[in-house]
Amino acid sequence: MKICALFSDYDGTLAPVTLSREKSRIPAKLETLLGEISVQIPVIIVTSKDFDFVYPRTKFAKAWACVSGLEARLSDGTIYASDGLRDLEGLFEEVRRLGFSGSMFECKRSRDGKLLGFSIDWRGGRKPSEELLNRVLKLSTGRVFVDFNTENPYVDFYAGPPQKGKAVRRLRDILQLQLAAPRSNNIYRRFPSR
């Protein structure tokens, strides 16, 4: 089977999820390897981060599905944006005023500055109280799409339904990648550790 592209998430896959936003980087050896791979096949990054964050850290990539697929970009500058997105600015200001001391807010914007999503991130700080988190989640109900797992030190809010899978299919079609179907039910291949 010929490998025609490499699709990868950023946080927790290429870069450790435990690092703060400012320190987030791909380890040097892995970055070098991905650069070498990108000469042979397209490397596509699929992430909840926005393009302004992920691009400087993944310049080797051919394409990016950003903000969980709400915006896709190609290395030639072409942009594909989702339609029917909600306005997040008002909710973002309401949430910020609730007082998340020790937490960082991360805005995720499109090329034209539209707020596509935002996160409340408490890595390196104190986790917000359950009461405060429940208040924010209740405030958001019906207004935005929320991604929250109690195991993670953050909560994400999106202007539309996260669509990483749809973005992957769109980029596959745009880049005219012929992805081979798996030959068996075991679609994962184990690679020997070094």
Q: Please report the DSSP string for 87-145 in residue order.
A: P-HHHHHHHHHT--TT-EEEEEE-TT--EEEEEEE-TTSPPPPHHHHHHHHHHHTTTSE
pTM to 2 decimal places: 0.83
Provide the residue type at 142 as one letter. Answer: G
CATH topology of domain 6-82+163-174: Rossmann fold (3.40.50)
Q: How far is CA 27 from CA 15, 44, 57, 115, 159, in A?
A: 7, 17, 10, 29, 31
| Cα separation, 31 vs 83, whole angstroms | 33
What is the reported pLDDT for 98? 87
Token pair belonging to 34: 């991905």
| Contact criterion met (CB below 8 Å) for 178 and 4 | yes
Estimate the crossing angle of helix 89-97 against helix 130-140, to 10 degrees.
Answer: 160
Q: What pLDDT was estimated at residue 149?
A: 86
**pLDDT tens, per residue, the chain with 194 residues:** 678 899 999 988 999 988 878 889 999 999 999 999 999 999 999 999 999 999 999 999 999 999 999 999 999 999 998 888 999 999 999 999 888 888 889 999 999 999 999 999 888 778 888 899 989 988 888 888 999 888 888 899 999 999 899 999 989 998 887 654 444 333 333 333 33
| Interatomic CA distance for residues 30 and 168, integer angstroms | 22
**Phi and psi torsions of 123, nearest 5°:** -60, 135
